[in-house]
């Protein structure tokens, strides 16, 4: 193993000319792929290139404990600093890949240096979708995707009392919960008629809407932002809705989804559109080029084989394993059950499966007691569960969704019985 390793910012002396494997993106998927390769006894050289300077870290805490100031950076690092060097994984921070020559098997970095590879794993995630409206570029309008986004938010929070959050998805709602905990005045703008519309059924949306309102959030549904009004210094001072209403603010956080980071791959000829297309072993249409994580569009068995991207730690980790196993010559197919979690206030939501296309939703437990699950069925088959403070349902539900269980809906509705019991009927 010849890789020389550094653990901080990239240093031009230490980047080798060529690596057996170059991984682009040092987030969840990229870092896990490097780990899996070493676990699978891959002995060649590995470079892990990330455009962020920080060592690989967990992204979910960015809208939870790290934003709240409850966990320092050291506690959200994926592995301690020494880990990468010990495994001969050459981590290079501050290394943004600008283009790929798939014939020559070479990458060009934004600073013009080149790196060769035998095999490439593209794990570049996505960038926050930007609002196209006036004022959206103001310094006090933020997204939350990277550590440095949250560092800037936290720096400015002392002087910010009124927070406007654009987007009622997971990131927007988690941010709202943290901001309330920090004592801020919070308005959430959601242009659709319910929160979490993209990912959950209406019952869950209604529960979270009620919860946020009870916690003091001014939650506006059917409310679309037109623009931010700015002052003479260019700071956003009000969110202007399409209705004409102006909501005075000190800071905005925008959480309206991501755009997959696949430009260099698509320019190099890889098939794709909304993400880069991969097969069941995470291979792109380019030879020896893999793609994993948020940026990878794949046929998912839990979405009836539809080509989708999943934005979750589960998907990043499981795809990392699939790519690594394919590279070391013991291929496995990607068919993991999707799962996800979200923490808001004292509510721990755990989801399993994909509820899209359900034709029946069964409630287990009592939302008033802040512990319940929603089981989604299609044609009698259990396809997904959303579990709020009900970890047992989540744990047992994973196996049932994977097995394509067909539980009796009446039995399912009996919250006193375990899911395992119900499925045995």
282 binds ligand FAD (CB under 6 A): no
Taking the CB of residue 376, how many other CB atoms lie within 10 A of it?
24
Candidates 87, 105, 142, 145; binder of ligand FAD (CB under 6 A) is 145
DSSP state of 401: H
The residue ranges of DSSP E strands in 6-105, in sequence order, are 18-24, 46-49, 89-92, 97-101
Candidates 115, 131, 171, 238; binder of ligand FAD (CB under 6 A) is 171
Q: Which stretch binds ligand FAD (CB under 6 A): 34-42, 338-346, 351-359, 405-413?
A: 338-346
Using Cβ positions, the residue closest to ligand FAD within the complex turns out to be: 27
293 binds ligand FAD (CB under 6 A): yes
Smallest distance from ligand FAD to CB 188, Å: 15
What whole-number distance in Å separates Cα of residue 109 and Cα of residue 119?
Answer: 17
Q: Which stretch binds ligand FAD (CB under 6 A): 51-59, 86-94, 273-281, 383-391?
A: 51-59
Q: Which is nearer to ligand FAD, 301 or 338 (CB)?
A: 338
Candidates 144, 375, 382, 412; binder of ligand FAD (CB under 6 A) is 144
Q: If you search the block for the tokens 């070479």, which residue do you land on?
A: 106
Site string for ligand FAD, 196-235 (x = CB under 6 A): ----------------------------------------
Smallest distance from ligand FAD to CB 129, Å: 12
Smallest distance from ligand FAD to CB 292, Å: 7
Q: What share of the chain is helix, strand, coil (3-state, %, to 5)?
A: 30, 30, 40
Site string for ligand FAD, 112-131 (x = CB under 6 A): -----------xxx------
What whole-number distance in Å separates Cα of residue 238 and Cα of residue 139?
Answer: 13
Q: How far is CA 95 from CA 10, 109, 122, 179, in A?
A: 7, 7, 14, 33
210 CB-near residues (< 8 Å, 6+ apart): none
What whole-number distance in Å separates Cα of residue 207 and Cα of residue 56?
Answer: 35
Q: Which is nearer to ligand FAD, 188 or 238 (CB)?
A: 188
What whole-number distance in Å separates Cα of residue 392 and Cα of residue 309?
Answer: 27
Smallest distance from ligand FAD to CB 8, Å: 15
52 binds ligand FAD (CB under 6 A): yes
What whole-number distance in Å separates Cα of residue 178 and Cα of residue 184?
Answer: 9
420 binds ligand FAD (CB under 6 A): no
Q: Which two tokens stand for residue 147?
A: 């550590």
Rg of the Cα trace of the chain? 22
Q: Which is nearer to ligand FAD, 171 or 383 (CB)?
A: 171
291 binds ligand FAD (CB under 6 A): no
165 binds ligand FAD (CB under 6 A): no
167 binds ligand FAD (CB under 6 A): no
Q: Which two tokens stand for residue 289?
A: 């080029």
8 Å CB contact between 168 and 195: yes
388 CB-near residues (< 8 Å, 6+ apart): 204, 207, 347, 348, 349, 367, 370, 371, 372, 373
Candidates 3, 15, 24, 189; binder of ligand FAD (CB under 6 A) is 24
Q: How far is CA 30 from CA 67, 241, 295, 334, in A?
A: 23, 39, 11, 16
Site string for ligand FAD, 57-86 (x = CB under 6 A): --xx-xx-----------------------
Q: Which stretch binds ligand FAD (CB under 6 A): 18-26, 86-94, 208-216, 325-333?
A: 18-26
Candidates 15, 34, 35, 97; binder of ligand FAD (CB under 6 A) is 97
Candidates 209, 211, 229, 294; binder of ligand FAD (CB under 6 A) is 294
Q: Considering only CA atoms, which of 90, 112, 117 is closest in space to residue 101?
A: 117
53 binds ligand FAD (CB under 6 A): no
The site that binds ligand FAD (CB under 6 A) totals a number of residues, namely: 35
8 Å CB contact between 367 and 393: no
Smallest distance from ligand FAD to CB 31, Å: 7
Sign, Cα dihedral of 34, 36, 37, 38: positive
For 130-230, where are the alpha helices, taking DSSP H only? Answer: 147-157, 170-181, 202-214
325 binds ligand FAD (CB under 6 A): no
312 binds ligand FAD (CB under 6 A): yes
Q: Which is nearer to ligand FAD, 340 or 394 (CB)?
A: 340
Residues making contact with ligand FAD (CB under 6 A): 24-30, 49-52, 59-60, 62-63, 95-97, 123-125, 144-145, 171, 261, 293-294, 311-314, 316, 340-342
């Amino acid at each position: 193993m010849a890789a020389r390793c550094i653990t901080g910012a990239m240093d031009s002396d230490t980047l080798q000319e060529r690596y057996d494997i170059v991984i682009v993106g040092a987030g969840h998927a990229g870092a896990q792929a490097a780990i899996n390769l070493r676990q699978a006894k891959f002995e060649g050289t590995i470079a892990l290139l990330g455009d962020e300077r920080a060592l690989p870290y967990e992204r979910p805490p960015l809208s939870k404990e790290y934003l709240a100031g409850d966990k320092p950076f050291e506690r959200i690092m994926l592995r301690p600093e020494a880990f990468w060097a010990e495994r001969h994984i050459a981590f290079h921070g501050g290394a943004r890949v600008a283009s790929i020559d798939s014939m020559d098997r070479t990458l060009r970095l934004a600073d013009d240096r080149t790196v060769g590879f035998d095999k490439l794993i593209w794990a570049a995630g996505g960038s926050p979708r930007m609002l196209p409206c006036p004022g959206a570029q103001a310094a006090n309008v933020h997204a939350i995707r990277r550590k440095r986004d949250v560092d800037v938010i936290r720096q400015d929070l002392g002087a910010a009392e009124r927070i406007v959050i654009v987007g009622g998805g997971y990131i927007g709602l988690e941010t709202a919960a943290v901001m309330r905990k920090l004592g801020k005045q919070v308005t959430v703008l959601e242009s659709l008629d319910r929160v979490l519309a993209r990912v959950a059924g209406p019952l869950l949306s209604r529960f979270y809407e009620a919860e946020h309102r009870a916690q003091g959030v001014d939650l506006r549904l059917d409310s679309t932002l037109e623009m931010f009004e700015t002052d003479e210094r260019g700071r956003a001072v009000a969110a202007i809705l399409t209705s004409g209403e102006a909501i005075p603010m000190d800071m905005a956080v925008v959480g309206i989804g991501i755009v997959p980071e696949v430009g260099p791959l698509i320019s190099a000829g890889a098939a794709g559109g909304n993400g880069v297309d991969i097969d069941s072993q995470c291979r792109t249409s380019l030879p020896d080029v893999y793609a994993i994580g948020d940026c990878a569009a794949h046929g998912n068995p839990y979405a009836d084989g539809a080509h989708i991207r999943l934005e979750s730690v589960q998907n990043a980790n499981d795809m990392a394993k699939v790519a690594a196993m394919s590279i070391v010559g013991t291929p496995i197919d990607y068919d993991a059950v999707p799962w996800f979690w979200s923490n808001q206030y004292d509510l721990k939501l755990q989801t399993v499966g994909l509820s899209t296309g359900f034709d029946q939703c069964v409630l287990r437990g009592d939302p008033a007691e802040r512990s319940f699950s929603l089981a989604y069925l299609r044609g009698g088959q259990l396809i997904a569960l959303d579990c709020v403070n009900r970890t047992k349902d989540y744990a047992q539900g994973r196996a049932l969704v994977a097995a394509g269980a067909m539980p009796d809906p009446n039995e399912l509705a009996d919250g006193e019985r375990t899911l395992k019991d119900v499925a045995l009927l």
